[in-house]
């Protein structure tokens, strides 16, 4: 949470899913983020074969945080 929902981390048996409420805007940071749903959601799936370096995860988290501060709560109804 950062001025509303920001990042979801979901650990499963064979993968970890990073979900971003403003994920479509983060595709410039990491093109592997796939659009999800009809809003701005985007997901990045990590497996043992397709790991993501910790510094890249930190960069995505920082950018997701910045977008929420700049644009407001993505869950707020307008």
Residue pLDDT, tens place only, 22-72: 999 999 999 999 998 878 999 999 999 988 899 999 999 999 999 999 999
Domain contains 54: no
Model pLDDT, residue 4: 94
Domain contains 30: yes
Q: Using 50, 70 and 90 to split pLDDT, how confident is the model at 78?
A: low
Neighbours of 14 (CB within 10 A): 6
- pTM of the full predicted structure? 0.90
Q: Domain range spanning residue 37?
A: 1-48
Q: Which residue has the tokens 């995505």?
A: 60
Model pLDDT, residue 51: 82
Domain contains 18: yes
Q: What total number of domains does the chain contain?
A: 1
Domain contains 75: no
Domain contains 72: no
Domain contains 28: yes
Model pLDDT, residue 39: 83
């Amino acid at each position: 949470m950062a001025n509303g929902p920001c990042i979801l981390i979901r650990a499963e048996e064979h993968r970890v899913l990073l979900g971003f409420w403003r994920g479509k805007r983060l595709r410039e940071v990491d093109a592997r983020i796939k659009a999800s749903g009809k809003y701005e959601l985007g997901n990045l799936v990590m497996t043992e074969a397709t790991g993501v370096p910790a510094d890249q995860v930190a960069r995505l988290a920082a950018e997701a945080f910045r977008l929420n501060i700049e644009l407001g709560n993505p869950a707020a109804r307008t």
